[in-house]
């Protein structure tokens, strides 16, 4: 694996802006973008669509698929931005296992703000399930923390100011 590979994992509870910020960041950097929601099993999506939160047993195969994708990008020396909830430290450990240059960006916001945003969007993860996300969340110790009250563009600027990464790397 080449040292030039870098992964930035944009994490946080559902509705915090991971997809929007992750896409903008990947565009700014000229890197690949991975949306973790696209890799959930149909059973997981059906469960969440029914208002049932995922548990660890549900999440492990999904996280392993995401880790395999990160390994693949690393082996091809293709830097990547991944939008993924990565709510627990054990999940973050799995995602970064065996990889160098993996950075986490935690999009942090309060329940009320995120709940209001979730009620205004179309997604299988409904606003009523947000409480379960906050209950599962283990705030990261080693992450860049970005306040979600800023616009997505400002959040990306703040991320870029805090990372040893360059556009187009």
Q: Report pLDDT digits (tens) over 58-113.
A: 999 999 999 999 999 999 999 999 999 999 999 999 999 999 999 999 999 999 98
β-pairing, 144-147 vs 32-35, is: unpaired
For residue 137, what is the DSSP state?
-
Cα gap 136→69, rounded to integer Å? 24
Decide which of 167 and 143 is more confident. 143
Cα gap 148→32, rounded to integer Å? 23
Q: Is the pLDDT of residue 2 over 50?
A: no
Nearest to 51 by CA among 136, 125, 121: 125
How many CB atoms lie under 10 A from the CB of residue 93?
A: 12
Contact 21, 107 (CB under 8 A): yes
Percentage of the chain lying above the pLDDT 90 cut: 65
Nearest to 49 by CA among 112, 41, 110, 85: 41
Domains for the chain: give ranges and CATH numbers.
Answer: 7-162 (3.40.50.300)
* Global confidence as pTM: 0.90
Provide the mean pLDDT of the chain: 89
């Amino acid at each position: 694996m080449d040292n030039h590979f870098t992964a930035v994992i944009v994490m946080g509870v559902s509705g915090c802006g991971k997809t929007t910020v992750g896409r903008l960041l990947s565009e700014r950097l000229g890197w690949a973008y991975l949306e973790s929601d696209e890799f959930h099993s149909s059973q997981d999506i059906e469960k969440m669509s029914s208002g049932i939160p995922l548990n660890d047993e549900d999440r492990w195969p999904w996280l392993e698929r995401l880790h395999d994708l990160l390994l693949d990008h690393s082996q091809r020396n293709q830097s990547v931005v991944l939008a993924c909830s990565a709510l627990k430290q054990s999940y973050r450990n799995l995602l970064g296992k065996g990889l160098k240059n993996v950075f986490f960006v935690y999009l942090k916001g309060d329940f009320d703000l995120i709940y209001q945003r979730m009620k205004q969007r179309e997604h299988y993860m409904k606003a009523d399930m947000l409480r379960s996300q906050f209950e599962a969340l283990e705030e990261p110790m080693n992450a860049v923390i970005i306040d979600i009250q800023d616009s997505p563009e400002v959040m990306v600027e703040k991320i870029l100011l805090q990372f040893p990464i360059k556009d187009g790397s």
